[in-house]
Amino acid sequence: MPELPEVETVMRGLRARLQGRVIVRAEVHRADLRWKLPHGLAARLTGARVEGFRRRGKYILMRLEGGVSVLLHLGMSGRIVIGRAQPNVTPPHEHLTLATDDGWRAGFVDPRRFGSVDLIATAREDSHKLLAGLGPEPLDDGFTAAVLSAALIGRSTPIKAALLDQRTVAGLGNIYVCEALFRARVGPRRLAHSVAGARAARLVPAIKATLAEAIAAGGSSLRDYVQPDGELGYFQHAWKVYGHEGEPCERCPGPPACAGIRRIVQSSRSTFYCPRTQR
Among the options 3, 8, 94, 231, which is catalytic? 3
Tell me how far CA of residue 242 lies from CA of 90, 95, 130, 262, in angstroms.
Answer: 36, 32, 28, 10
Active site residue 3: yes
Residue pair 244/227 in contact (Cβ under 8 Å)? The answer is: no
d(CA 249, CA 252): 5
Active site residue 269: yes
Residue pair 270/263 in contact (Cβ under 8 Å)? The answer is: yes
Minimum distance of Zn ion from residue 184's CB (angstroms):
13
Q: Does 249 bind Zn ion (CB under 5 A)?
A: yes
Among the options 12, 58, 183, 199, which is catalytic? 58
- Say what the alpha-carbon torsion angle 20, 221, 138, 117 is, to the nearest 10 degrees: 50
First to last CA, the chain: 27
Count of positions on this chain that bind Zn ion (CB under 5 A) = 6
Q: Does 274 bind Zn ion (CB under 5 A)?
A: yes
Minimum distance of Zn ion from residue 250's CB (angstroms):
8
Q: Does 279 bind Zn ion (CB under 5 A)?
A: no
Minimum distance of Zn ion from residue 207's CB (angstroms):
19
Pick the binder of Zn ion from 24, 147, 252, 264 (CB under 5 A).
Answer: 252
Q: Considering only the stretches 8-16, 82-90, 91-99, 250-258, report the one whose residues sit in contact with Zn ion under the rule CB under 5 A.
A: 250-258
Q: What are phi and psi of 106, to 5 degrees?
A: -125, 125
Q: Does 84 bind Zn ion (CB under 5 A)?
A: no
Q: Does 251 bind Zn ion (CB under 5 A)?
A: yes
Neighbouring C-alpha atoms within 13 Å toward the C-beta of 90: 16
Minimum distance of Zn ion from residue 71's CB (angstroms):
41
Minimum distance of Zn ion from residue 274's CB (angstroms):
3
Q: Considering only the stretches 77-85, 102-110, 198-206, 271-279, report the one whose residues sit in contact with Zn ion under the rule CB under 5 A.
A: 271-279
Bridge partners (DSSP) of residue 128 are: none
Extract long-range pairs of 264-268: CB within 8 Å, 24+ residues apart: 264/188, 264/189, 266/158, 266/160, 266/161, 266/188, 266/189, 267/160, 267/161, 267/164
d(CA 144, CA 44): 40
d(CA 168, CA 148): 7
Site string for Zn ion, 85-124 (x = CB under 5 A): ----------------------------------------
Minimum distance of Zn ion from residue 264's CB (angstroms):
15
Active site residue 138: no
Q: Does 181 bind Zn ion (CB under 5 A)?
A: no
Q: Does 178 bind Zn ion (CB under 5 A)?
A: no
- Amino acid at site 110: D
Between 166 and 277, CB nearer to Zn ion: 277
Show which residues are catalytic: 2-3, 58, 269
Where does this chain bind Zn ion (CB under 5 A)?
249, 251-252, 274, 276-277
